[in-house]
Amino acid sequence: MQTDAGLVKVALLGTGDIATRHAAALKVVPGVELRSVCDLSLLKAKAFSKTFGVKGIYNSIDDLLDSQTIDVVHVLTDPGSHGPLAVRCIEGGADAFIEKPLAVSMKQCEELAQKSRAYGRLCAVNHQWVHSPVIQHLMREIQSFKFGGLRHVHMIFSVPAAHLRLLRPDHFIFNDSRNLFFEFGPHPFSLINLLLGRVRSAETSASGEIELMGQSLSDLWQTSLVCERGTASLTMNIGKTTRNITLDVIGEDAAAHIDLVRQSMEIRDPESEVVPGRLRSVLRRSHRDVSDALADLFHHYRSTLNSSKVLPHDPFQASLLDFYSARKAGRSPRQDIATGAAVVEYCEEAVANVRFSSRQARVVSYAG
């Protein structure tokens, strides 16, 4: 379906807050045009099209796909609908780029993989954090055997999540506290999966409460995991907190503390335990932090003046660029169906065995 001298025509399915980020990021992808937008609310679709200068306006995915004018659809709807809508896009002849999570069950992931193979369509998921500069730095250190074998990973994921109060009352999150894992869990689990491989087993405890849409949901979750190449733990705090996202990696020969908000990393090894080594480590880290801060400041102001520029420190842009470059080259993107399914498996395992310690004991329709 590619015409216009090879121009890739893109549609956004859904016009929520995340659609704005996708529309902005698409401006930096070469050979791509945002051609259409689709939302159940025609009013929202029209408002979005006016803001971003999008020509095609639809309130039906069938009408969008029947128009035969789209090469790629970005699926940006509620997580519970990602899998089925991506299947519909593939059946309609379009590739699919899905906002995390890929789906909300392994059964949906398997159907998506089968349809992708049968129709010869490309499908990927937006796990942007694996593209962040500090994670790329960490992976280079791991691949250089700095850490020896990895033994344990601990992640803290604390976010205010004020946007939850703006969601519709029928959003799937409000059906069950555990659905918070499918909304927020893909962020930390995509990194744990990258470092330790697929999950083998998990146990989760939930405590605390937050009131949203007249419902009481648990807001503090602690998960212990056994993975292919080590063990992991996750503390996830949603709602009544400040933004704090950190990753601790423990290896046989070294350990690291990563701050994903500041994009900083501190590595501790035997060399850093002696005074000269510690001094070298501090000076090296200070130089890197100053350099990164100046680069971030430069790219922030450049993005303010011209949003169509590629920002080297923007993992969101990097995720889209990887998908479209893979599509052009005929290769599999980094965050393909298999990787997306592995992250969904983490979410499923984490919520399969939950011990609630708060007074909230009600369990209703689980997303899976």
Instruction: Give the residue extent of every domain in the chain.
Output: 8-129+317-332, 131-310+345-356
What tokens does 146 get? Answer: 């700095």
Query: What does the pLDDT average to over 148-169?
Result: 86
User: Percent of the chain having pLDDT more than 90?
Assistant: 70
Among 7-16, 192-201, 287-296, 344-353, the range scoring the smallest mean pLDDT is: 287-296
pLDDT top residue among 295 and 349: 349
What tokens does 40 get? Answer: 């159940």
Is the pLDDT assigned to residue 302 strictly greater than 50? no
Tokens 């780029």 belong to residue: 97
Across the chain, how many H-helices and E-strands are there?
11, 16
Fold of the domain spanning 131-310+345-356: Dihydrodipicolinate Reductase; domain 2 (3.30.360)
Q: What homologous superfamily is domain 8-129+317-332 in, according to CATH?
A: NAD(P)-binding Rossmann-like Domain (3.40.50.720)
Backbone angles phi, psi at 96, to 5 degrees: -130, 130
For residue 303, what pLDDT is reported? Answer: 40
Is the pLDDT assigned to residue 311 strictly greater than 50? no
Query: What is the β-pairing status of strands 95-99 and 123-126?
Result: parallel
The pTM score is 0.86
Is the pLDDT assigned to residue 77 strictly greater than 80? yes
What tokens does 323 get? Answer: 């998908």
Asked if 194 contacts 127 with a C-beta cutoff of 8 angstroms, the reply is no
User: Which of 135, 182, 189 lies closest to 157 in space, CA to CA?
Assistant: 189
- CA 82 from centre of chain: 13
- Tell me the average pLDDT of the chain: 87
Is the pLDDT assigned to residue 300 strictly greater than 80? no
pLDDT band at residue 280 under the 50/70/90 scheme: low
**Nearest-5° Cα angle at 158, 154 to 159:** 150
What tokens does 55 get? Answer: 């020509």
**Distance (Å, rounded) from C-alpha 347 to C-alpha 336?**
17
Asked if 63 contacts 74 with a C-beta cutoff of 8 angstroms, the reply is no
Looking at the DSSP bridge assignments, the partners of residue 207 are: 220
**Distance (Å, rounded) from C-alpha 61 to C-alpha 39?**
8
Q: Return the H-helix or E-strand segment holding 316.
A: helix 315-329
Query: What is the β-pairing status of strands 150-159 and 264-268?
Result: unpaired
What tokens does 298 get? Answer: 């430069």
Query: pLDDT, tens digit, for every residue of 127-139?
Result: 999 999 999 999 9
pLDDT band at residue 281 under the 50/70/90 scheme: low
Query: What does the pLDDT average to over 76-92?
Result: 96
Is the pLDDT assigned to residue 306 strictly greater than 60? no
pLDDT band at residue 68 under the 50/70/90 scheme: confident
**Distance (Å, rounded) from C-alpha 64 to C-alpha 233?**
43
Residue type, 75: V
Tokens 């121009």 belong to residue: 7
Highest mean pLDDT among 141-150, 210-219, 271-280: 141-150
Asked if 218 contacts 209 with a C-beta cutoff of 8 angstroms, the reply is yes
| Cis-peptide into 101, omega within 30 deg | yes
Tokens 């004020």 belong to residue: 162
